[in-house]
Every structure is written in structure tokens, then in C-alpha cells.
Copies of this chain bind each other. A is one copy, B any other.
Amino acid sequence: MELDRLDRDIIAALVEDARATYAEIGHDVGLSASAVKRRVDRLRETGAITGFSARVAPRALGWNTEAYVELFCQGKTKPSDIALAMARYPEVVAAATITGEADALLHIRATDVRHVERVIERIAAETFVVRTKSSIVLSRLVDLPTGAVASDPRNGSPVGG
């Protein structure tokens, strides 16, 4: 699906504030509220916008510690095996298979270092896991919502930048 300037501007507005009214967005991008709504509906139908979410301060909910864990798996492990197993851990907030020595990289949120340790212990006990290599996050320096940059004229668009 093709996104024009207006679509990108609307997405940018909604990434910045998902509760903005259609009239507000319309004012920003130069469209009527009705026109904005029609485009937002279309963007959701086509899957460009997958939903709307509150941004939460992990600390406020007690998630005080995060870690990245490299996973080294047995030779015939399939990505779907890893996906299925990791989906069972609420502490695993992101996971991806990657190039390089490790097979996958996990992003873990936990209450404290002890909690991280317990989770890694359980993950390391998964049948397909050979070993793990973990790094505790000391301080978060950057954390942008996905798409924050997409059509912010201050930053480059993926095509233009």
C-alpha cells in the first residue's frame, strides 16, 4: 500500500498523541476532521497502523531492571520454536533472530537483578538452548516509539534520510 504525505503526517501526529481528536490532527495536516477519520480508518484496515497504546514508565509499574540476552541454540532449532517458547515469558518484551554468533537476542524487563537472574535461569533450561550471554542495562539513553521518526520533518524519512 502506498502512503502519501498526508498519511505520513497523520501517522506522525498519532504517534505523538494517539488521543488527539480528528479535528486537531486535521488542523495540523490541513484536512477536515472527516477526511482525517477516513484516512485513519483506511490506515488501520491496511495495517499501517496496528493499534493505539499508552506509553508507560516501566519504573512506575515496578519494572526497574532490563537486560539483553543472547541465545545460542541447538543446530536444528527453528525460529518458530524460539518464538513459541519466549511468548510464554511475560518478562521477554522483545525477541529476534539475528546474524552473528548468537542465534537470537532477547530484551527482558524485570523487577530487579534477582528477577532477571531467575528468568534467564528458566530460559537457559529450555531444551533447545545451549547457552546464554546476558548484559544488564545500566542506563537507557534513547527510547523512541516505533514510527516516531517516520514523517517528522525534523528527522529524515526512511526514503529521504
| Beta-carbon contacts under 8 Å, A53-111 to B | 53-58, 60-63, 66, 68, 79, 82-83, 86-87, 90-100, 102, 104-106, 109-111
Within the assembled complex, what's the spacing in Å between the Cα atoms of A149 and B158?
31
Copies in the complex: 2
16 A-B contacts (beta carbon < 8 Å): A11-B61, A16-B51, A18-B19, A47-B60, A48-B60, A61-B158, A62-B158, A86-B141, A87-B142, A93-B143, A96-B138, A98-B136, A98-B138, A110-B158, A111-B158, A115-B158
Residues in chain A within 8 A of chain B (CB atoms): 1, 3, 8, 11, 14-19, 46-58, 60-63, 66, 68, 79, 82-83, 86-87, 90-100, 102, 104-106, 109-111, 115, 133-152, 155-159, 161
